[in-house]
Structure formats: C-alpha cells, structure tokens
Amino acid sequence: MPLLRLPVSQAPAAPDRRFVAASFAGAALAIGACGLLSQYSGSPWLMAPFGASCVLVFGLPDSPLAQPRHVLGGHFLAALSGLLWLWLAGPVWWSTALAVALALALMQLARAVHPPAGATPLVVLASGASWHFLLTPVLSGTLVIVGLGWLLHRWRQPGSYPRYWW
C-alpha cells in the first residue's frame, strides 16, 4: 500500500535561511525599538498594525505594498480617516465601518495602499485617539520600520530596498 502523498505545491519556494534570519532580526528590531521608545518617551510608538507592516517590509521587501510610500502614506491616511470619523460621529459601529472604507479609498487615490493600514482606523476609534496619534505612533513608528528596513536590506543586499521612495 503506497504512502499518502501530498500534491506538489504551487506556492513559491521558501526563502533561504539567511533571508529568514534577516527578516526575523528586522521585525524584532523594529517592534522592539518602537516598544522601547514608547517606554522611555511616554508616548505610543507602537500599534498592532505595525506587526503586519513588518511582515511586508522585512519579509516581502520587493512588494509594492512594502515600499515607504505605502507604509508611511497608508498608515497616515488611514489614521487621518479614523480621526475624522471619530471627530464627526464618535466610536460607533458605522463610523468605524466608514473610517475603514474611507481609508481604503484615500490609499487607492494616493497610490499608497498598505493592507496593514486598514486596521489603523479601528485602533483610532477603539482607543479614542487624539490628533496627536498622527505623530505618535503613526509617523514615528512608520519611520522606525521603514528606516530599519532600509538599513537591514542595505546590509543584506545593497540597493534592494526600497524599490522606490515616492
């Protein structure tokens, strides 16, 4: 009786171990730096969607969704949408839905779609964030992620990230 064989996968091959190790280090450094800066500054530099941003920047650096324009612009526009709906209607279910929808539309129009930023308006409305949220954690945290992405990928393979800044 033959052993059960799985069909051959059509998924892309796993990256080499050096790339996996660099991705691990980059994500740990970026989230760790944001956490440490939060602790010492007394301001938030970290939010949950940044974990997904690290997956793109460090794990899929060639993706358009991982480029600085998308990471910075996507989170900024999404936070702006969340803050606008929080100011207009408060943290009700329908303002949350409209904030995410507006964030997506703004990212599309600005050519800065970043899927992890789709969660940013949810963070804004759930936390009752102030307008200061645009600076910390959004601008400060995304600059840490993109900056460390640039440094790590420059060390790993010069010129590999970003593919474009703007």
Tell me the per-residue pLDDT of 4-56, one tens digit each, with 9 for 90 and over: 788 889 999 999 999 999 999 999 999 999 999 999 999 999 999 999 999 99
Predicted confidence (pLDDT) at residue 58 exceeds the cutoff of 60: yes
Average pLDDT over residues 101-107: 98
What's residue 161's pLDDT?
96
Cα–Cα distance measured from residue 61 to residue 113, given in angstroms and rounded to the nearest whole number: 15
Residue 113's pLDDT is what?
98
- This prediction's pTM: 0.94
If residue 120 lies in a helix (H) or strand (E), which one and from where to where? helix 120-127
Among residues 74, 71, 84, which one has the least CA distance to residue 125?
Answer: 84
Burial level of 148, CB count in 10 A (0-12/13-18/19+)? buried
Lookup: tokens for 41: 């500054």
Select from 71, 77, 85, 125 the least CA-distant residue to 104: 77
Q: What DSSP character marks residue 139? A: I
CB 135 within 8 A of CB 13: no
Per-residue pLDDT at 111: 98
pLDDT at 7: 86
CA-wise closest residue to 103 among 86, 66, 137, 140: 86
Mean pLDDT estimate for the chain: 96
| Residue spans per domain, the chain | 20-156
pLDDT value for 2: 60
Stretch 85-92: mean pLDDT, rounded?
98
How big is the chain by its Cα radius of gyration, in Å? Answer: 18
| CB contact at 8 A, 129 and 86 | yes
- Interval 89-116 mean pLDDT: 98
Residue 4, pLDDT score? 78
Taking only the tens place, the pLDDT of each residue in 105-121 is 999 999 999 999 999 99
Provide the token pair at 43. 């301001």
